[in-house]
């Protein structure tokens, strides 16, 4: 077993080194000898895309360089487990299967809860029927951001107490062994989560929508696991409550810190815009400014929030008192003059005031922040904690519509470990139509890019270099949308207009390119040996409009929302959804004909160039044809997928 | 809250100034300027109706003392009427209750 693993890893490494080596050579040669100066803009676009692809390959190799080798899981530990079934609007029949199977999970100390964000009475009835807990949002959430699935789970975390939490989406029917097989890894107290695969029992024959992810729940997750960077997928995973709470607390402190920083900034900003109503305030303000600067510095140097808050508050009070001290100086000198006119009590008062100046200043100092040029809002903000959230502790990250990625990223950054256990222990539903499948992909892509924009993994402290790169790769790969579109358009430009990114369509070019393509194919074939990974690969390319849309929507700051993936086939005209792909296919077909025509009539006398580019156009048409098939796909009329029988043994 | 004044003439030199609001660092500059204008306009016998002044701090005191000084310099006087509890306690604390003439009501201040 071990030898076989070693052999697999080393064969991959050799192929990978050859691929990367040849790729470097090819790219170097492309940069130095083949840029077409006549169409330099096009040459640069294409070479940038090829460079992108090269780094994509590098990251892929890194990911798979030292996969984990988990065979038999460690023996189970004794622990209490809360089973969360997370639902919003899924039909009760669907939920019934999951709840039924969850109550059959072979684990003594377990509590099953339905987390119903739809607060539906018939789901409550279902919970009662199976004697499980039923959790909805309380009044504290009224008018507050709900944070979709992450909010739902965070809400439940505060109401249950199991040491571990098994999270299941509404459609993920658990096998009875799910806890027993996965919880053993938790014997290592540093492990925060154990992720198991998602398996779909409703895949139509041939998996037209590319839902099956054997490559992801196989080599990719195993590879990431080897770097302690397994992806948390939001369902079919066991999480350690302690890790989630620690994460929530640390986020809480972070957010308070940010809050405090913002408030101190606001105070300082307000001071800048303040018009002095009396010259007395000037000195006080100068003092306040420097004190607030000190508070800001203290915050940067990791001083506790209480101390910093106190510093800022004290700075304001001192500024107010210094105004008061100057007021009393003024009063004293006025009293002196009055005394000079013969008012004895004025002199008496003056003497008394000068003797007790600081005490009096403390008692009568202007108490409002406005006196020193601050809004009450900014000042009171210093004492306030997090405003606006329903519950103070958000364990599952709420910064993104894909809460799982963001949560795992933070757990990894805190030094927690993750496990990918590759055994199928839950059976769920994949989208049954192209529209739903595409929306789901769009949401994943948007969420991942959103995490990247808010918390760029390359700059997150606490992650190892490999973790940073692998998290970075999750977003990087979506830029392939632009790259693949370019790869599709470039041959057409050549065939239609003889615009070429490459200076010479020569045999020398083919001699360098073809080995690279072959090596790439060999590497991919080796990795996906025995898996039906082809469909997924096709989709990663042919969904290019989705990836582009995802990037553009996040970059332009469009509002994104968490959307529950519908669990039933939706009817609709899906050809409309793939108009970009259809356009590319039609253009490519036209380009092929025009290329042949221009060869036959001597418009373009370069047969090598024409055939290479026709080859690419044909290749792209074939690749994209899968998504056309998916768009017009209708399941067989007797298609009625059922979850595996063994999940519901008759004996009970 | 903005500080507001309304005034009524009592005699050739006398003015009753009704002050509404809080006498604090952000508002007293206005009072100071106003008192100075009155004195410069030879209105030097001043009664300040303080019944609607809910709060005073050190800068409010300074404004009143400087008003008093100006009035006296021009041969007049400045009386405070109907001072509320908080304001009275500040005067007491600073011994300024001995410097100012304080009256429980405007009517008594007029006598």
Together in a domain, A98 and A177: yes
Residues A316 and A354 in one domain: yes
| CB A272 within 8 Å of CB A286 | no
Report which secondary-structure segment, H or E, holds A346.
helix A344-355
On whether both A153 and A244 belong to a single domain, the answer is yes
CA B36 to chain centre: 12
- Verify that A417 and A367 share a domain, yes or no: no
- The answer as to whether A384 is a domain residue is no
- Domain at B15, CATH number: 3.30.750.24
What pLDDT does residue A385 have?
44
With respect to residue A232, please indicate whether it lies within any of the assigned structural domains.
Answer: yes
- The predicted structure's pLDDT at residue A351: 92
Who wins on pLDDT, B1 or A48? A48
- A625 and A499 assigned to the same domain: yes
In this structure, what are the phi and psi dihedrals at residue B78, rounded to the nearest 5 degrees? Answer: -135, 120
A17 and A165 share one domain: no
Residue A590's pLDDT band, with cuts at 50, 70 and 90, is very high
Q: How far is C-alpha A272 from the chain's CA centre?
A: 38
The domain tally of chain B equals 1
Are both A58 and A154 inside the same structural domain?
no
Look up residue A502 and give its DSSP letter.
Answer: B
pLDDT band at A210, cuts 50/70/90? confident
Q: Say if residue A410 is in the same domain as residue A486.
A: no
Residue B26 and residue A368: Cβ atoms within 8 Å?
yes
Q: Tell me, what's the pLDDT at A386?
A: 43
Q: Which domain holds residue A626?
A: 2-65+474-631
Q: Which of A149-158, A186-195, A384-393 is predicted with the least confidence, judged by mean pLDDT?
A: A384-393
Kindly report the number of other CB atoms within 10 A of residue A456's CB atom: 13
Q: Is B88 on the interface with A (CB under 8 A)?
A: no
Highest mean pLDDT, choosing among A161-170, A551-560, A628-637:
A161-170
Q: How many CB atoms lie within 10 A of CB A154?
A: 22
Query: Which chain B residue lies closest to A348 (C-alpha atoms)?
Result: B95
Nearest to A485 by CA among A596, A317, A357, A620: A620
Percent of chain A with pLDDT over 70: 91
Handedness of CA A245, A248, A251, A255 (dihedral sign): negative
CB contact under 8 A, A360 and B93: yes
Say whether both A91 and A231 belong to one domain: yes
* Residue-number span of the structural domain to which B84 is assigned: 4-110
Cα separation, B18 vs B23, whole angstroms: 13
Q: Is residue A454 part of a domain?
A: no
Per-residue confidence band for A592, with pLDDT thresholds at 50, 70 and 90? very high
pLDDT at B32 over 60: yes
- A87 and A229 share a domain? yes
Q: Alpha-carbon distance A508 to B105, whole Å?
A: 107
Say yes or no: B68 contacts chain A, CB-CB below 8 A.
yes
- Strand-pair partners of B4: B20
**What pLDDT sits at residue B86?**
84
CATH code of the domain containing A191: 3.90.550.10
Residues 6+ apart with CB under 8 A from B40: none
Query: In this predicted complex, what is the ipTM?
Result: 0.93
In-domain check, residue A260: no
Q: What is the DSSP string of A25-71?
A: HHHHHHHHH-B-GGGHHHHHHHHHHHHHHHHHHHHHHHHHSS-----
What is the three-class DSSP state of A418? strand
- pLDDT (tens digit, 9 = 90+) per residue, B2-27? 788 898 888 888 999 999 988 887 78
pLDDT digits (tens, 9 = 90+) for A353-396: 999 988 888 888 877 776 666 767 667 666 554 455 666 667 77
Per residue in A223-268, pLDDT tens? 999 999 999 999 999 999 999 988 888 877 777 777 777 777 777 7
- Per-residue pLDDT band for A76 (boundaries 50, 70, 90) equals very high
- The answer to whether A569 and A432 have CB atoms below 8 angstroms apart is yes
Cβ-contact A408, A324 below 8 angstroms? no
Please give the residue that has the higher pLDDT: either A633 or A486: A486
- Using only C-alpha atoms, chain A has a radius of gyration, in whole angstroms, of 33
A647 lies in some domain:
no
Contact A345 B98 (CB under 8 A): yes
**What pLDDT, in 10s, does the model give residues A547-585?**
999 999 888 877 666 566 666 666 666 888 889 999 999
Q: Does the beta-carbon distance from B57 to A365 stay under 8 Å?
A: yes
CA distance A603 to A596: 10
> What is the pLDDT at residue A572?
62
Cβ separation of B62 and A328 shorter than 8 Å?
yes
Any chain B CB within 8 A of the CB of A109?
A: no
Query: Is the Cα torsion angle A204, A206, A207, A212 positive or negative in sign?
Result: positive
Rg (CA), chain B: 12
| Number of domains observed in the structure of chain A | 3
What is the tens place of the pLDDT at every residue in A305-343? 677 777 777 777 888 888 888 889 989 999 999 898 888
C-alpha–C-alpha distance, residues A15 and B8, integer Å: 99
Contacts of A331 in chain B (CB under 8 A): 58, 61-62, 65, 94, 96
Do residue A149 and residue A223 come from a single domain? yes
Residue A467 has pLDDT above 50, yes or no: yes
Same domain, A94 and A240: yes
- pLDDT tens-digit map of A32-49: 988 989 999 999 999 999
Cβ contact B14:B74 at 8 Å: no
């Amino acid at each position: 077993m071990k030898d076989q693993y070693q052999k697999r890893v080393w064969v991959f490494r050799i192929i990978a080194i050859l691929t990367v080596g040849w790729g470097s050579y090819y790219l170097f040669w492309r940069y130095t000898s083949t840029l077409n100066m006549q169409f330099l803009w096009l040459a640069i676009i294409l070479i940038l895309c090829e460079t992108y692809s090269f780094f994509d390959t590098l990251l892929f190799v890194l990911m798979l360089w030292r996969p984990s080798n988990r065979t038999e899981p460690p023996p189970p530990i004794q622990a209490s487990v809360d089973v969360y079934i997370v639902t919003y609007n899924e039909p009760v029949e669907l939920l019934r299967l999951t709840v039924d199977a969850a109550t059959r999970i072979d684990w003594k100390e377990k509590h099953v809860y339905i987390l119903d964000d739809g607060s539906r009475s018939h789901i409550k009835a279902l919970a009662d029927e199976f004697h499980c807990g039923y959790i909805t949002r309380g009044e504290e959430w009224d008018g507050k951001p709900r944070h979709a699935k992450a909010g739902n789970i965070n809400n439940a975390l505060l109401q249950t107490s199991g040491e571990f939490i098994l999270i299941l989406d509404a459609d993920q029917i658990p096998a009875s062994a799910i806890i027993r097989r996965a919880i053993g890894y938790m014997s290592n107290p540093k492990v925060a989560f154990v992720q198991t695969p998602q398996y779909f029992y409703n895949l139509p024959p041939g998996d037209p929508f590319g839902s099956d992810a054997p490559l992801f729940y196989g080599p990719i997750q195993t590879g990431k696991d080897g770097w302690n960077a397994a992806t948390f997928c939001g369902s079919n995973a066991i999480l350690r409550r302690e890790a989630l709470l620690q994460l929530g607390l640390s986020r809480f402190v972070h957010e308070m810190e940010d809050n405090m920083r913002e408030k101190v900034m606001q105070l300082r900003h307000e001071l800048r815009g303040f018009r002095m109503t009396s010259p007395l305030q000037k000195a006080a303000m100068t003092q306040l400014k420097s004190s607030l600067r000190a508070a800001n510095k203290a915050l940067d140097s990791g001083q506790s929030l209480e101390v910093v808050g106190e510093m800022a508050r004290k700075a304001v009070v001192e500024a107010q008192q210094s105004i008061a001290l100057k007021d009393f100086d003024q009063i004293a000198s006025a009293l002196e003059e009055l005394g000079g006119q013969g008012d004895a009590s004025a002199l008496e008062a003056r003497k008394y005031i000068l003797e007790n100046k600081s005490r009096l200043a403390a008692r009568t100092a202007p108490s409002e922040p406005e006196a020193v040029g601050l809004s009450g809002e900014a000042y009171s903000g210093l004492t306030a904690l997090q405003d606006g959230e329903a519950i103070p502790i958000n364990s599952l990250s709420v910064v993104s519509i894909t809460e799982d990625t963001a949560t795992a990223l933070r757990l990894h950054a805190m030094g927690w470990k993750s496990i990918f256990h590759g055994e199928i222990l839950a059976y769920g539903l994949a989208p049954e139509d192209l529209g739903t499948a595409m929306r789901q992909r769009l949401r994943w892509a948007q969420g991942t890019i959103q995490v990247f924009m808010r918390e760029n993994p390359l700059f997150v402290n606490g992650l190892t270099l490999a973790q940073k790169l692998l998290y970075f790769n999750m977003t990087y790969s979506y830029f392939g949308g632009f790259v693949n579109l370019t790869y599709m358009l470039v041959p057409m430009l050549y065939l239609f207009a003889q615009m070429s990114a490459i200076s010479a369509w020569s045999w020398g070019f083919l001699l360098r390119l073809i080995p690279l393509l072959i090596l790439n194919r060999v590497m991919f074939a080796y990795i996906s040996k025995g898996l039906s990974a082809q469909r997924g690969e096709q989709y990663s390319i042919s969904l290019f409009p989705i990836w582009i849309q995802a990037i553009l929507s996040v970059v332009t700051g469009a509002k994104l929302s968490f959307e529950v993936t519908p669990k039933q086939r939706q009817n609709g005209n899906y050809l409309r959804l793939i108009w970009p792909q259809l356009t590319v296919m039609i253009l490519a077909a036209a380009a092929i004909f025009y290329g042949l025509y221009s060869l036959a009539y001597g418009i373009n006398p370069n047969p090598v160039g024409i055939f290479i580019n026709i080859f690419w156009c044909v290749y792209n048409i074939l690749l994209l044809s899968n998504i056309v098939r998916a768009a017009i796909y209708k399941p067989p009329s007797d298609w009625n997928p059922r979850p595996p029988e063994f999940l519901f043994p008759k004996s009970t | 809250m903005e500080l507001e004044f309304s005034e009524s003439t009592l005699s050739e030199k006398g003015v009753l100034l009704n002050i509404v609001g809080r006498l604090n660092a952000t508002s007293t500059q206005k009072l100071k300027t106003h008192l100075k204008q009155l004195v410069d306009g030879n209105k030097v016998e001043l009664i300040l109706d303080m019944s609607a002044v809910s709060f005073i701090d050190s800068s409010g005191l300074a404004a009143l003392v400087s008003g008093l000084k100006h009035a006296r310099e021009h041969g007049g006087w400045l009386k405070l009427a109907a001072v509320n509890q908080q304001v009275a306690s500040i005067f007491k604390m600073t011994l300024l209750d001995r410097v100012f003439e304080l009256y429980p009501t405007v009517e008594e201040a007029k006598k």
